Structure 1
Amino acid sequence: MKKSILVINTLISVILFSCQKPIDENKIASDAVEAYKEKQTIEADKMETIAQQFYNQLSNPNDPQTDALSKNYMDENWVSTPEPIGGAGRVGFVKTLSVFGAMITDLKWEPQEMLVSGNKIIVRSIATGTPNSPEGYFFGTPTNGSKRFEIPTIDIHTIENGKITESHHVEAWLTALGQINEK
């Protein structure tokens, strides 16, 4: 009896295993890689959308909703290197936009390229504007609103939990001063 149960169990196992499709390990690996790439693309798209909000604000520094809008994409304790003229944190960013909005009412900050790596996004952009501050000076250079500047900028933002937490940036402000100082 034990021998017949063993034979029946063996036959059932053979039948079950012979009905299964062979496992294609290459297909499984390929599918996993494609799923990973798709997830990375979605994450990169989300990060680009978050970063774009930052540049939309820079291009509209006099928007009365700046404070409320910046809460959507920027951490309260945002760290900027160098620290902006308005001070540290998200509130400092809002103050900085107010200062720039008074000096350069037509300021535009247009991303040209965004590269995502992990939780960092590198943005190469062009900043343009026509300084015409109420005091008649732009970073110590006399201006009357008749000269425009166009400068390259590069930012490296860290994004965590859907918000920019840190930014390192370089702008060619000396180039801007040279452009508005040209005769």
Structure 2
Amino acid sequence: MKKIINFINITLLLAFINTVYAYQLPEAKQVNIDQSIATKQADKMILAAKRYAAFWNTGEEKFAKQALANDFIDLNLPKGRKQGKQGPLDASKWFRSVVPDLTANIEEMFVVEDKVILRLKFKGHFTGKFYNTAGKGQKIEFSAVDMYTIENGKIKSNWHLEDNQTLMQQLNKYPSSKNFTLFSKDIKTEKTITTNQYWNNFGCTGKNERPDLSWTGIPKDTKSLAITFYDKDAPTGSGFWHWTAYNIPADTKNIDPNTLPQGAVDANTDMGKPGYFGPCPPVGRTHNYVFTLHALDTDKLTPPAGATSALVRFFINQHTIAKTTLSVIAGPRK
């Protein structure tokens, strides 16, 4: 009797393990099977494909080792990736350091001859580090197509194509902050500035008045702020930076025309010196300018003393979690 009970217990345990295991294998939303393939053979091929998809969905290496043949070959091996089984294991581990909550769902599956073709949808959030860029929680969602050649229930080779363009755009995108808004009582978005706001040099005779700037909807994780003012149409090939200020306290709601909040720092402009100087487009031309307010994830930026405008903005961009803009027009002046 004791042996029978033990046998029943083991049987139930194995059934439970198989149920949990099966639950971990992703199901395809749509499956298309070549009717000339025997059911038993098709099932083996589908199982191998599901196991490999489960590996990408969970990061658990056991699924890849179960799915891939010992002499597995990547037919379009990405640069720097090892050939064979180890390549996908390393790739998954690295990408999960970038997108820790990565999931992979099978949108569509085709079983044809000795091949299984999958259309996969990857989702997650960029909260890790992509080379030198730290994630800010950006949403990641991109597609991939895999084509497996199956032998004896194992994936012998894989041809794959990922939508890397979409992925890269998402990795470099700031998280949405719909309520983060920059505005001014002195200037209006997409409208022409006043005469007094022109620079008083290079042929311009304005008063170089900096507009009063205010904002609302600062993201909750903001630790400090930075602001820039940029001429998009300056004939330099890269525009022209008229103002950069950083280390603005996170509880600041306004910058008036004459002072900066305590602790804030004026960085060098493209004139090679700190401060603010207003627009001065060439005679007869209209230029577009943009104020950009950055919410940062650090209390204080520490660029080197005398850092160029570009270097300071590098520090700003490395810590930006959200940004909002206000665009204005200057010119044409006579």
Contact 1:114 1:123 in 2 (8 A): yes
| % identical equivalent positions | 24
Change in Cα spacing, 1:122 to 1:69, as seen in structure 2 (3 Å) is closer
> Contact 1:143 / 1:180 at 8 angstroms: preserved in 2?
no
Larger helix proportion of the pair? 1
Q: Distance in 1 between matches of 2:49 and 2:100?
A: 22
Aligned positions of 1:99-110 closer than 5 A: 99-110=94-105
* Alignment match, 1:3: none
* TM superposition score normalised by structure 2: 0.39
Residue 16 of structure 1: aligned partner? none
SS of structure 2 residue aligned to 1:113: strand
- Taking only aligned residues, the RMSD between alpha carbons, in angstroms, comes to 2.2
One-letter identity of the residue aligned with 1:178: Q
For 1:107-166, what per-residue CA distance to the aligned partner results, in whole angstroms no more than 9, with x for missing partners? 111111110111101101111122233xx326x6x3424101111111110000111010
Deviations 1:37-80 (A, max 9, x none): 5862332232111101001011112x3xx1x4433220122111
Letter in 1 for 2:95: F
Task: Say which SS state the counterpart of residue 130 (structure 1) adopts.
Answer: strand
**1:77: which partner in 2?**
71
Unaligned 5+ runs, structure 2: 1-34, 175-334
Alignment of 1:160-179 (within 5 A): 160-179=151-170
SS across alignment from 2:64? helix
Matches of 2:126 and 2:99, distance apart in 1: 5
State which of 130, 135, 139 in structure 2 corresponds to 1:137.
130
1:88-107 mapped onto 2 (5 Å cutoff) = 88-107=83-102
User: Within the alignment, does 1:153 sit opposite 2:144 as a pair?
Assistant: yes
Q: Distance in 2 between matches of 1:101 and 1:76?
A: 24
| Residues in 1 aligned to 2:139 and 2:75: alpha-carbon distance in whole angstroms | 26
CA distance, structure 2, for counterparts of residue 81 and residue 38 of structure 1:
26
Structure with the bigger RCO (C-alpha within 8 Å, sep 6+) is: 1
- Aligned pairs for 1:61-76 within 5 A: 61=59, 63=60, 66=61, 68-76=62-70
SS of the aligned residue for 2:144 comes to: strand
Q: Using a 3 Å threshold, how does the CA distance of structure 1 residues 121 and 94 change in structure 2: closer, same or farther?
A: same
Count of matched residue positions in the alignment of Structure 1 and Structure 2: 140
Structure 2 CA distance for aligned equivalents of residues 145 and 38 of structure 1: 49
With over 3 angstroms needed to count, the CA separation of the structure-2 counterparts of 1:145 and 1:122, relative to structure 1, is: same
Please state how far the C-alpha of 1:105 moved relative to its aligned partner.
0.9
Mapped to 1, the partners of 2:147 and 2:36 lie a distance apart of 23
CA distance in 1, matches of 2:167, 2:90: 21
CA 1:180–1:95: 2 relative to 1, 3 Å:
closer
8 Å contact from structure 1 (residues 77, 89) kept in 2: yes
1: CA distance, partners of 2:47 / 2:155: 11
Kept after mapping to 2: 8 A contact 1:76/1:91:
no
Contact kept in structure 2, 1:86 and 1:94, CA below 8 Å: no
Q: Which residue of 2 aligns with 1:14?
A: none
1:54 aligns with 2:52: yes
Residue pair 2:123, 2:142 contacting (<8 A) in 1 also? yes
2:54 and 2:63 in contact (8 A); partners too: no
Change (3 A) 1:137 1:93: closer
Question: CA 1:137/1:97 → structure 2, altered by over 3 Å: closer, same or farther?
Answer: closer
Q: 1:87 and 1:51 mapped to 2: Cα distance? A: 21
How many angstroms apart in 1 are the aligned matches of 2:64 and 2:170? 31
